[in-house]
Structure 1
Amino acid sequence: MITLSFDGLLPRPVSAVPTPGRFTLDTSTALVGDRATADTVRWLRRRLGAATGLPLNSTGNGGSIRFTLDRTVPGPAGYRIELTERLVTVAATDPAGAHHAAQTLRQLLGPAAFRAAPTGPRHWSLPCGRIVDRPRFGWRGCLLDVARHFLPTREVLRFVDLAAAHKLNVLHLHLTDDQGWRLEVPRYPRLTEVGGWRRRSMVGRGTPDAFDDRPHGGHYTTTDLREIVAYAAEQHVMVVPEVDVPGHSQAAIAAYPELGNEQSRLLDVWPSWGVNSNILNASDHTVAFFRDVFDHVMEVFPSPVVCLGGDEVPTEQWDYSPLARRRAAELGLARPADLHGWFVRRMVDHLHDRGRRALGWDEILDGPDLPAEAVIGCWRGVETGHRAAAAGHDVLLCPEQHVYLDHRQSEHPDEPVPVGFLRTLADVYRYEPVPPGTPDAVAARVLGAQAQLWSEHLDSPRRVDYAAFPRLAAFAEVVWSPREAREPDGFERRLAAHHLPRLDALGVEYRPLTGPRPWQTRPGVAGRPR
């Protein structure tokens, strides 16, 4: 029997003070809101109505749950909930805060409130008291890599639900890479016709390389992507698209060989993992091509931030290419490798000219005169965050040493495909984005933090669930709750007693705290630990 109380909330709120009594939900309970919170009320009525079987109409002669906007509530995205035996009042700074409050009420109703249909007779009630809450960071994100292994639209929508349930507010979709191009661009149909699938896939990271000869592919139509964006917006999740240039581009080169540096050698979509030497050339045609691609991206995705990648760009092909050497000389660059910064700058300027902000991985800092408006995703370590902030850039913290959730979760031999750094649930919870002693100038530039789910070794939704949860729940508390409110022992207790049952109700195939279930292992598939 799960005791429903404020103690089980996750992420932990700023303040939660219980009082005696409970608010009962029944067929006479009303759920109402003002114009600014109407969307959240409709969303909550739909979700709770499905789970409870209660109508939760806007009129009723019983108790009421009332949502309203109140600018005096600390924010942004903050809320206050007052619960008495006859009335639940939700006051929010803004519509996002109202939705976060709705997620809190859903948690307080217990795991059965996360089911898609009633599961039997049940008494529904909320504990009385007062909750005041707001997020620590404005950017609370998770990257989902659908380029290496494609996830159908329904699975992306499901992941949006899971992110929003944890009060995350950014879904970063990694849509293109060497191993697949997932974004329909009507002007360039071969990007998906050719670049959208590969003949086989590497399995693990053993020596020698091993492959599964099963073709893999898929892509999202423009309609699919509009659906994902609209569905996420309903839950106040911003979808940030990524088209990675000028590296991680073999799928595009396979589709349009004129984009590459060795045009006489036809390439397939890459079936392997790692850093690939096949990169884009720096011709005017290629720059214009990707300006067209980003124009389509901006038409589909309304997010103020668009990611252009810019990471892991080996420049050997430019060094040996007569065309690249001539191009570098024409541009007055000291060496062909400097074409990296030049190419990135062309895309950054294109995005900024159209009113968006470019997000790039921290390698783009090496380019000359990068506009200060560009956001830097710091994945290689804390020192790149300091460097970016010193150059006047806003910073997104996503260090691989701490928040790459595709990395292994234990040293046990049953851990499936053990790659990367060892990062346990406790390790993720201990991560501190802005540790004490961080210079004020750096802290002021931190937009927030983002967990990463790279999918080389996550070849199904079940494997995504295993890698993400419950570590993503720990990360959610890191980026939402006040630093002083976090407590590792209490977190694991709340997780086991209250939150894992919610994930069970949502059908999430998370990693048990004691280790993988037999069907979650991958016997015989080698990894590459670091």
Structure 2
Amino acid sequence: MIIKKHLLLYISALLTTGYVNAQTAAPDPNMGIIPAPVSVQKQVGTFVLSQETAIQADSTDNKAVQFLSSYLQNKFALKNRVQHYKGGTATNAIILTTAGTENLPAEGYRLTIAPQQITIAGKGAGLFYGVQSLIQMLPLERAATAKLPCARIEDYPRFGYRGLHLDVCRHFFSVEFLKRYLDLMASYKLNRFHWHLTDDQGWRIEIKKYPRLTSVGSMRAQSLIGNYHDRMPQQFDGMPVSGYYTQDQIRDVIAYAQSKYITIIPEIEMPGHAMAALAAYPELSCDPKLDYKVAETWGVFNNIFCPTEKTFSFLQDVLTEVIDLFPSKYIHIGGDEAPKVVWKSSPDAQALIKKLKLKDEHELQSYFIQRIEKFVNSKGRSIIGWDEILEGGLAPNATVMSWRGEAGGIAAAKQNHTVIMTPSSSGYYFDHSPARSDLEPLGIGGFAPLSKVYAYNPVSSQIPAAQQKFVMGVQANLWTEYITTENKVEYLVLPRLMALSEVAWTPLANKNYTDFNEARIPKHLAWFDANKFNYRVPTALGAKDTAYTAQQLTVNLKVPVNGAKIYYSIDGYDPNETNEVYTRPFTLNIPSDQYRELKTIVITPSGKRSLITRTLVTNNTPLPAVTFTGKQPGVKYELVAGLFTSTGQLDGARVLDTGVTKTFNTAAFKKANRTFGVTYEGYFNVDADGKYIFSTQSDDGSVIYVDDTMVVDNDGKHSLYEQPGEVLLQKGMHKFTLKYFEAGAFSTLRVYLTMPGKPKGEFSATSLVY
């Protein structure tokens, strides 16, 4: 205890020399702009924006001009004069013009900042996006003047379709919040809002001809408590959910979006996800005698629209009103997750299959979609559908939205169909967790960190060069089964929305995650912090949840939000405002057979907090080989019953089975047990002394012990997540213990090993003996 006290005093004295790395911003070749522009040329000098600066424009009532004027007044209290631009040069002026933009690509702009004037050149959306870039360059602090560094920026988007989705069916959000959502999109040059308006859990759009869609279909009695994979039997909150948008409200939202150069694409689900509609009009089902109600839980339901003339007449009436409301070229008709169970037993469906000489129910769904497409085409519009519309044959003019990975998009592009990439597996479902799920707010699962979103390229190398032009763009989706509040929407969208924008806009050659994450994101998050957005605070840059072996722990961190502070501890307790503030890099020496544990937390000026990171560094001597002479390949296992939240609970649990296996695949256990735990034990041989890096990728918790020493700690109830750990081993045999538990719907367990001088590979149970 005395040693620890002296160590803390020494570090405290060492760090009082001032803020260095914790607060120093990284170099920024993109001048703070997100998404990164096509071309940035920094110039000498600055432009000073003040009350006397005039705004001159070709058209003073242009949307971009009005937006800039309002922004400067609202955020900086600058009442700049708006004047008609007569050409030529000006002094102390911001000029917005279309002059000289003949060769700019669509939505492009040219921003020139000189000491005496700023010129934004562009047409339509391009001029608006130039204004957005200028605004991002302004300082965060409100003052009488603002200095802007001189530069010449030329910019235009990589993709014409840059989308963000919001599901308002599972939970309803106000018109005011939708406008705030659209503001975020516009700030980062996203231009398509996918508005998911109908589903099993609620019908949210007024249809004049069918009033029961909203009087009945917009209301459900209650909602499921917790993740629907977790509890058996399920529990419900008893709290009614309701709400829908009147046609006047929809027109208002559309007009607001248009003022931001955003097109709204409405989605009306069919033939599946129809429980809310069937509750209102059961005659649209294959069995009208059933008692349908708006769904109170999540998932996929067997009851879908029946392919009768009554249904097609209803859907055409609905789509007619939708098309009259929305000016979008595209109407999204869903098409996903439509089980054919009721069609198999429906006389109407089977008669139609026979009449049309269709092969099966999949071809019947294709007929359903194609018939709807012909109607939508007759109104001068086109359809978008989820990638399931490929099954049974793709409608002739349909655009495919690829969500089940990239395969659907690749297949559609190869058929010369336009494609929008939105793969859930690549981080583009923003309802998936931004970190390990047990550390984040309740969600459906999945793992979609900021780095994963940023790394995605919508144009797959599997699409032939000639067909790559059919990739219209990229979209991220936010499904709201587990999102009941507007604050949670913002938490899950920010800052991942900014990674989406850079993927959608910026040329591949200009993307740089370090610059994005360390130089630009911190300023933008500081703006959100000051303007009361509920963004997710990243952990300290350079801090990791990891464990490794070394003789020293070197700490070199940066703040992820400008103005925030990093607090840390090395005493095993979670840090908070009472702990030391990190101000500069330092190194801790670790005596032999001891460890040091660094924990960090980021706290912003508004009081928002990051997750706590934990770095455990051990300076243990290599574990000696043990005596073991068994030679039978495989491992012993013990399967236990129970609903667990940690691997420590497996000891003493009721044993279901014991035996020997040559695989860590848990599918056989899962088949007979919804929840379970399993312990594997065996021995493996090490050919040489050195560092061995194990990792587990599991859903749920898993841990690895080598010679009864914990090496990998991936414990806890969470969705699929990989966690590594290191151990020093001497040549010879070593005991291996793997513990895993499954507490929900999915059972995934994989083990990896990196040996000295060799690449990482899967560690198989056949590598062990017992």
TM-score range, shorter chain: over 0.9
Task: Give SS of 2:390's match.
Answer: helix
Contact 2:58 2:96 in 1 (8 A): yes
d(CA) in 2 for partners of 1:476, 1:315: 37
Task: Give SS of 1:12's match.
Answer: coil
Task: Give SS of 1:140's match.
Answer: strand
Matched, 1:360 2:385: yes
Look up the match of 2:95. 66
Matched, 1:52 2:81: no
- Answer with 155-164 or 457-466: which moved more: 457-466
Contact 1:380 1:400 in 2 (8 A): yes
Equivalent of 2:201, from 179, 182, 190? 179
Residues 1:231 and 1:507: Cα distance change in structure 2 (over 3 Å):
same
Alpha-carbon deviation of 1:321?
Answer: 1.6
Residues 1:323 and 1:309: Cα distance change in structure 2 (over 3 Å):
same
Equivalent of 2:260, from 235, 249, 252? 235
d(CA) in 1 for partners of 2:495, 2:79: 32
Alignment-mate amino acid for residue 193 of structure 1: S
Residues 1:352 and 1:32: Cα distance change in structure 2 (over 3 Å):
same
Alpha-carbon deviation of 1:430?
Answer: 0.8
Matched, 1:194 2:224: no
Deviations 1:195-214 (A, max 9, x none): 01110111322122232211
Equivalent of 1:29, from 45, 49, 53? 53
d(CA) in 2 for partners of 1:20, 1:91: 21
Number of aligned residue pairs: give it.
519
Alignment-mate amino acid for residue 129 of structure 2: H
Q: Report matched runs for 1:244-283 at 5 Å.
A: 244-283=269-308
Equivalent of 2:188, from 141, 147, 166? 166
Task: Give SS of 1:197's match.
Answer: coil
Alpha-carbon deviation of 1:37?
Answer: 7.8
Contact 2:31 2:137 in 1 (8 A): no
Contact 2:418 2:470 in 1 (8 A): yes
Alpha-carbon deviation of 1:11?
Answer: 0.9
d(CA) in 2 for partners of 1:317, 1:280: 9
Alpha-carbon deviation of 1:29?
Answer: 1.2
Look up the match of 2:435. 410
Equivalent of 1:137, from 147, 159, 162? 159
Task: Give SS of 1:318's match.
Answer: helix
Matched, 1:454 2:488: no
Contact 2:47 2:116 in 1 (8 A): yes
- Answer with 205-214 or 512-521: which moved more: 512-521
Look up the match of 1:344. 369
Alignment-mate amino acid for residue 215 of structure 2: E
Larger radius of gyration: 2
d(CA) in 1 for partners of 2:514, 2:200: 42
- Answer with 185-194 or 4-13: which moved more: 4-13
Matched, 1:472 2:497: yes
Q: Which structure: greater strand fraction?
A: 2
d(CA) in 1 for partners of 2:463, 2:411: 13
Look up the match of 2:64. 40
Matched, 1:108 2:137: yes
d(CA) in 2 for partners of 1:142, 1:47: 24
Look up the match of 2:342. 317
Deviations 1:412-435 (A, max 9, x none): 632122433211111111111114
Deviations 1:180-199 (A, max 9, x none): 00000011111011001110
Residues 1:311 and 1:417: Cα distance change in structure 2 (over 3 Å):
same
d(CA) in 2 for partners of 1:495, 1:331: 58
Look up the match of 2:760. none
Contact 2:33 2:520 in 1 (8 A): no
Alpha-carbon deviation of 1:91?
Answer: 1.0
Alignment-mate amino acid for residue 456 of structure 2: Y
Contact 2:278 2:292 in 1 (8 A): yes
CA RMSD of aligned residues (A): 2.4
Query: Identity rate of aligned residues, in percent?
Result: 35
Alignment-mate amino acid for residue 486 of structure 1: K
Question: TM-score, length-normalised on structure 2?
Answer: 0.65
Alignment-mate amino acid for residue 249 of structure 1: A
Look up the match of 1:78. 108
Matched, 1:510 2:539: no
d(CA) in 2 for partners of 1:2, 1:196: 51
d(CA) in 1 for partners of 2:532, 2:466: 43
d(CA) in 1 for partners of 2:538, 2:329: 38
Look up the match of 1:294. 319
Look up the match of 2:238. 213
d(CA) in 2 for partners of 1:18, 1:63: 20
d(CA) in 1 for partners of 2:237, 2:298: 13
Task: Give SS of 1:19's match.
Answer: strand
Look up the match of 2:406. 382
Alpha-carbon deviation of 1:312?
Answer: 0.6
Look up the match of 2:468. 443
Alpha-carbon deviation of 1:131?
Answer: 0.7
Task: Give SS of 1:216's match.
Answer: coil
Contact 2:410 2:462 in 1 (8 A): no
Residues 1:6 and 1:527: Cα distance change in structure 2 (over 3 Å):
closer
Question: TM-score, length-normalised on structure 1?
Answer: 0.93
Alpha-carbon deviation of 1:436?
Answer: 4.7
Alignment-mate amino acid for residue 311 of structure 2: T
Alpha-carbon deviation of 1:123?
Answer: 2.4
d(CA) in 2 for partners of 1:294, 1:494: 46
Alignment-mate amino acid for residue 436 of structure 2: E
Residues 1:105 and 1:37: Cα distance change in structure 2 (over 3 Å):
farther
Task: Give SS of 1:474's match.
Answer: helix
d(CA) in 2 for partners of 1:394, 1:131: 31
Task: Give SS of 1:453's match.
Answer: coil
Task: Give SS of 2:51's match.
Answer: coil
Alignment-mate amino acid for residue 276 of structure 1: F
Look up the match of 1:117. none
d(CA) in 2 for partners of 1:156, 1:169: 14
Contact 1:318 1:337 in 2 (8 A): no
Contact 1:305 1:356 in 2 (8 A): yes
Alpha-carbon deviation of 1:400?
Answer: 0.9
Residues 1:336 and 1:415: Cα distance change in structure 2 (over 3 Å):
same
Residues 1:240 and 1:527: Cα distance change in structure 2 (over 3 Å):
farther
Alpha-carbon deviation of 1:73?
Answer: 4.1
Contact 1:196 1:219 in 2 (8 A): yes
Alpha-carbon deviation of 1:121?
Answer: 4.1
Equivalent of 1:20, from 26, 41, 44? 44
Look up the match of 1:285. 310
Higher relative contact order (Cα pairs below 8 Å, separated by 6+ residues): 1
Deviations 1:403-462 (A, max 9, x none): 111011222632122433211111111111114564213311100000111111111111
Task: Give SS of 1:308's match.
Answer: strand
Matched, 1:125 2:150: no
Alpha-carbon deviation of 1:80?
Answer: 0.5
- Answer with 33-42 or 173-182: which moved more: 33-42
Deviations 1:347-403 (A, max 9, x none): 1111111111111111111244621x2111011122211210122210100111011
d(CA) in 2 for partners of 1:513, 1:495: 13
Task: Give SS of 1:217's match.
Answer: coil
